[in-house]
Amino acid sequence: MDSKTHTRFTNSKAKISSKVGGTYSTYGGYATGKNLELVPDELIRQSWRAENWPDEQVSEIKLELEPTHLGTRITFTHKGVPDNEFESIKNGWNEFYWTPMKQLLNE
């Protein structure tokens, strides 16, 4: 929930509010949405849409954080993705988010 850190690990401009109801924009506006629920160190739930989707198309992402003996387990759910966008979005999360995040955390 930090614009500078997100921008650093994705190497792309991000503007992220840390408040419920606040908005965010990542990858220069490609992904936008609103914070629906924020529980520090436990849960991030946001609306999410890609810039090329129809205006009425909005999905939802949820990141559940759970402490483990090795660090933190993140359970990620993304629902409401249009069928014809599923593979692209799935691959995008891996390539543009999870892989760079893993690299940042291993620094």
- Residue with tokens 């933190």, as numbered in its chain: 72
Tokens of 25: 């924009």
Residue 102's H or E segment, with its range, is helix 99-105
Distance separating alpha carbons of residues 62 and 93, to the nearest angstrom = 13
Break the chain into its structural domains and give their ranges. 3-105
Each residue's pLDDT expressed in tens, for the chain with a length of 107 residues: 789 999 998 999 999 999 999 999 999 999 999 999 999 999 999 999 999 999 899 999 999 999 999 889 999 999 999 999 999 999 999 999 999 988 888 87
Model pLDDT, residue 1: 79
Give, in words, the CATH class of 3-105. alpha beta
- pTM of the entire predicted model: 0.91
Model pLDDT, residue 67: 95
